[in-house]
Amino acid sequence: MSEEKRAELKGKVLRLADLVSYQDGTVASRMIINKPSGSITLFSFDEDEGLSEHTAPYDAVVTILDGECEVWVAGETHHMREGDTIIFPANVPHALSAITRFKMMLTMIRE
């Protein structure tokens, strides 16, 4: 999404889950904020989709907007559903997998 399109969202009441659509067999994303200090990206995951284990250099906050998933942080498994939030610590391995179709908001805070 271009900076111009993101600017159109400012000052409006938003239903975050409605800003990204499910797509069969894949993961879709929509960045709504992208600044040097951090970003906010919305994702939708079809059932059985996910992100393989990886690390990130910054803390990341994930909030589930719809559906259910499992997340792994440093080898520990967590079942998450709509309304749940978890913080992935910087440089700690994490992954996630859809149990049902689900949507999430990822907030990255850069130092």
Q: For residue 35, how many other CB atoms are within 10 A of its CB?
A: 8
Lowest mean pLDDT among 18-22, 52-56, 107-111: 107-111
pLDDT band at 81 (very low <50, low <70, confident <90, very high): very high
- pLDDT, tens only, 28-53: 999 999 999 999 999 999 999 999 99
Domains and CATH numbers, the chain: 3-109 (2.60.120.10)
| Closest C-alpha among 41, 38, 2 to residue 20 | 41
pLDDT at residue 26, as a whole number: 96
3-class state of residue 28 by DSSP: strand
Give the list of residues 6+ apart from residue 11 with CB closer than 8 angstroms, or none: none
| Closest C-alpha among 85, 105, 32, 92 to residue 58 | 92
Predicted TM-score (pTM) of the model is: 0.91
